């Protein structure tokens, strides 16, 4: 098969998947929400009413205003209220969204990369390498991923990069198991025999021939893991071991607002949490539909 034909094939497969995705009204709606959320996160510095990190633009007299209040100088309206420093919650949420999505994307891609490489190596090397990798995977899968990330963050300390590392360590095992399972099937196929006979190097056999054929189940897991990574980051930041105060993600904002919940200032906690819930929910709906499309029996 020439490269152009192969490219055409994958393109039309993606297009077919997109068309079927849009056939479900709920999935199409969720996809639209998701697209808007990503756009809002990307454009946050330009569309946010205020730069929440710029202390000079905050007015302490505007602190703890309920949603819809006008600022003290009448220049802007705080649609979602303000926090105890007079920060516009809408702006804080838009910037928090960036951090949450950033962590989610990096953690998922990292776990996908590490897990797939481990899984493919296990299936290809067989013997004790396989046994060794898979025992680690077994141990990890017995524990909740968030617990592993939590203990690891206790060691590493706070920071966006550290949260990403902890989530990768907590999440790679699912990918490794799935990658190994597909690779075990695929490695004995004729096209792999052909690749071996043509004298291609190990790396080329693995990455150019085996890997593309193992991808569909891995993408399914990636859709689940992405939603879980965002929720996990939020949970860790909520517990105070995640991102630092200077880079508040949605989970961090929710945690900060939680202290004010009992005094009736519900907006500090409700809105960031709601933004997070909307992101995860719409992503899960789209992911669910995608799983139905590539796996009609609906197994996870």
Partner 1 sequence: MPAFVLSRLAQAAIVLLAVSALVFVGVFVIGNPVDVMINPMATQAEKLAVAQSLGLDQPMWMQYGRFLEGALHADFGRSFLAGQPAMQLIFERVPATLELAVTAILIATLVGVPLGLYAAVRPDAWISRAGMGLSIVGLSLPSFWIAIVLIMVLAVWAGALPSSGRGETRELFGIPWSFLTIDGLKHIVLPALTLALPKIALLARLTRAAATEVATSEYMQFARAKGLRRSRIVGVHMLRNLMVPLITVIGMEFGRLAAFSVITESIFAWPGAGKLLIDSILQLDRPVVVAYVMVVVAFLVLLNLLLDLTYGVLDPRIRLQARAA
Binding interface with partner 1 (CB under 8 A): 135, 138-139, 142-144, 146-147, 150-152, 154-155, 157, 227, 231, 234-235, 238-241, 251, 254-255, 258, 261-262, 264, 266, 269-270, 273-274, 276-277, 280-281, 284-285, 288, 298
Q: Which is nearer to partner 1, 77 or 158 (CB)?
A: 158
Write down the least CB distance from residue 238 to partner 1, Å: 5
Looking at the Cβ atoms of 148 and 210, the one nearer to partner 1 is 148
Nearer to partner 1, 48 or 281 (CB): 281
Q: Would you state the structure tokens that stand for residue 28, as one six-digit string?
A: 């199409």
Spatial distance between the Cα atoms of 222 and 111, rounded to a whole number of angstroms = 9
Smallest gap, in angstroms, from Cβ of residue 156 to partner 1? 9
State the Cα–Cα distance between residues 295 and 300, nearest whole angstrom.
Answer: 9
Give the H or E element holding residue 77: strand 77-78
Q: Based on CB atoms, which residue is closest to partner 1, 59 or 130?
A: 130
Q: How far is the CB of 249 from partner 1 (least distance, A)?
A: 12
Is 62 buried (19+), middle (13-18) or exposed (0-12) by CB count in 10 A? buried
Query: Would you say 40 or 151 has its CB closer to partner 1?
Result: 151
The minimum distance between CB 2 and partner 1, in angstroms, equals 42
156 backbone dihedrals φ, ψ, rounded to 5°: -80, -30
Instruction: Specify whether the CB–CB gap between 105 and 223 falls below 8 A.
Output: no
Minimum CB distance to partner 1, residue 233 (Å): 10
Asked if 229 contacts 103 with a C-beta cutoff of 8 angstroms, the reply is yes
CA dist 222 and 243 (Å) reads: 22
Smallest distance from the beta carbon of 235 to partner 1, in angstroms? 5
Task: Pick between residue 114 and residue 207 the one whose CB is nearest to partner 1.
Answer: 114
Measured CA to CA, the distance from residue 161 to residue 168 in angstroms comes to 11
């Amino acid at each position: 098969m020439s490269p152009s034909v192969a490219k055409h094939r994958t393109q039309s497969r993606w297009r077919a998947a997109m068309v079927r995705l849009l056939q479900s009204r709920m999935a199409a709606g969720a996809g639209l929400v998701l697209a808007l959320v990503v756009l809002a996160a990307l454009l946050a510095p330009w569309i946010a009413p205020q730069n929440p990190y710029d202390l000079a633009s905050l007015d302490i007299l505007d602190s703890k205003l309920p949603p819809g209040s006008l600022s003290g100088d009448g220049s802007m309206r705080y649609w979602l209220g303000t926090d105890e420093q007079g920060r516009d919650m809408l702006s804080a949420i838009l910037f928090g969204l960036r951090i949450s999505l950033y962590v989610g994307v990096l953690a998922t891609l990292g776990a996908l990369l590490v897990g797939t490489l481990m899984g493919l190596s296990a299936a290809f090397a067989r013997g004790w390498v396989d046994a060794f990798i898979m025992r680690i995977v077994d141990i990890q899968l017995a524990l909740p991923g968030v617990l592993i990330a939590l203990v690891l963050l206790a060691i590493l300390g706070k920071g966006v990069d550290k949260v990403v590392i902890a989530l990768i360590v907590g999440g790679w095992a699912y990918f490794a198991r799935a990658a190994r399972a597909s690779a075990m099937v695929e490695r004995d196929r004729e096209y792999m025999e052909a690749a071996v006979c043509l004298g291609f190097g190990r790396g080329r056999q693995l990455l150019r021939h085996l890997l593309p054929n193992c991808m569909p189940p891995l993408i399914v897991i990636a859709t689940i893991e992405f939603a879980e990574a965002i929720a996990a980051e939020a949970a860790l930041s909520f517990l105070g071991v995640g991102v630092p105060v200077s880079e508040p993600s949605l989970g961090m904002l929710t945690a900060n607002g939680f202290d004010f919940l009992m005094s009736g200032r519900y907006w500090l906690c409700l809105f960031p949490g709601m933004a997070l819930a909307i992101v995860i929910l719409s992503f899960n709906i789209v992911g669910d539909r995608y799983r139905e499309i590539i796996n009609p029996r609906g197994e996870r």
